[in-house]
Amino acid sequence: MNVSMTMTVYAVGLISSKLIALGLQPFVTQWLGSEQFGRLDVLVTLSCLLTLAMSFGISDAIYRFAHEQQEPMTIFSSAFGLILTIAGGLTIIGQLAVPQIQQVLPGMPDEFALRCLLVTLFLNTLCCVPLAILRIRNQATHFVTAQVVFALTQGVGIVLLAPHYGIEGIMAAGLVAQIVQVIVLAKSFPSPKLGNNSLLLKYGWAITLSGVLNFMVLGAERWAIAQTLGLASLAPYAIAIQWAIAASLLLEPFGLWWFPKRFGLLRTQADRQHAATISVLGCQLSSLVAAGIITIGSRFLLIWLPPEFHASANILPLLGIAIMFKHASTLLNIGCYFQKDGKSIMLIGVISASCAVLLLLFILPNFGLYAFIWASIALQLVRAGLFFGWSQHYLRLPYPLYRLGASYALVAMLLFSHFQLSIMYEALCLLLLAIQVSWPWLGKQITKKREPSGLNKGLGSG
């Protein structure tokens, strides 16, 4: 299977799996109501944190070290044995501590739902290893089949169980779907062995710590909202963040293409110019996604959701801006990841997490949800600035920042027009942004047609 076909298969699987979940959203919101939906999101957020702990960065370690081994199966077996030990131990501890976990979590989730979730996460973590193996071996069809079967099974289970059993039915549907996925992947599981532990753990702990710090910046705020403002206030925020993240999946094909290539474009000055230009182009594409969230997404939610959740339409545009700056952090950081020690990445994570805690402790309870969201946007902007500054310190690249500044200015004007209900100006800003982002690429195509000798120097040169 060639590269383009592989990417297409992955894209189809990713989008279809996400669409199944989003397609059920209007029904789930009606079945649960705002308070129960908020309680469900508390469990979803817990699952994100526990997945980081159970997986312990082992799947990332597989991608990092498998290609260096003459027998990759050695790493696969070692990783499976280690992840089986870690996830199994944490699952047993979690099952024993369910009553204590209930007391800590906002909304006191049901015991059955918690126990069901822990088993589901254990099985899901085990599946990380065969899924990583399938990706390494370029078996995209099998990989996507396992993902889509899981999503379909879960979706059918939710439709059958959620109207009658609520959150407990949704958790049960997830467990059944996970068991089905294990069956689909059964032949791809390696034999568990405990070898290469120090290599895998040394790499995995850094990935895990970075993930936990990122969770503090984007994830833990849901618990704080539920605890401070109530589960009913969390529900529309949870809906909005789901759609903001789902919209950002439009950038996944760009990321799948660009991230493996970027470190190979640092040898010559021309290569570095190209890498800088492509990175800024990625940021500009994220600004287009944010613009779509503002103009289309917010209006769509008013039609898609029951009136009880219409506050999501006002929250979504702001979260779109936060996600836009978050993408800038991942694209303007080449110099940070070029360093082998990763100290700057860890330090930025600590600074960002510390600021996020301050926002949760002081801004949210004293000034409310919207002030907190604006402060979170500012934090994402600061985080992007830190990555950019450290990246340039380690590896100076000629980023065409004037293009990015123009895109961000147009998005800001678009957001202002949206909240002022100026539809004409909103459409004008969107049109100008589309032209501004695409113009360098269009100009290059025109130049190519006029100069077939190949004298042009690449996208954005000059």
Mean pLDDT: which of 224-233, 236-245, 369-378 is highest? 369-378
Whether this model's pTM surpasses 0.85 = no
Predicted local confidence at residue 253, as pLDDT: 72
pLDDT digits (tens, 9 = 90+) for 187-206: 999 988 887 778 888 878 87
Please state, for a pLDDT cut of 90, what percent of the chain lies above it. Answer: 54
Predicted local confidence at residue 159, as pLDDT: 95
Strands of 36-80, DSSP E: none
Instruction: Assess contact for 37 and 28: CB atoms under 8 A.
Output: yes
Sign of CA dihedral 156, 161, 167, 171: negative
> What single-letter amino acid sits at 83?
I
Q: What is the DSSP string of 24-46?
A: THHHHHHHHHHHHHHHHHHHHHH
Q: How far apart are CA 221 and CA 241, in angstroms?
A: 11
Q: How far apart are CA 410 and CA 46, in angstroms?
A: 37
pLDDT band at 289 (very low <50, low <70, confident <90, very high): very high
Helices and strands per DSSP (H, E), number in the chain: 20, 0
Residue 311 structure tokens:
């506050």
Predicted local confidence at residue 462, as pLDDT: 33
Q: Is the pLDDT of residue 382 over 80?
A: yes
Q: Which residue has the tokens 């077996």?
A: 77
Domain boundaries, the chain: 1-198, 218-462
Instruction: Assess contact for 280 and 399: CB atoms under 8 A.
Output: yes
Q: Is the pLDDT of residue 157 over 60?
A: yes
- Averaged pLDDT, 359-366: 94
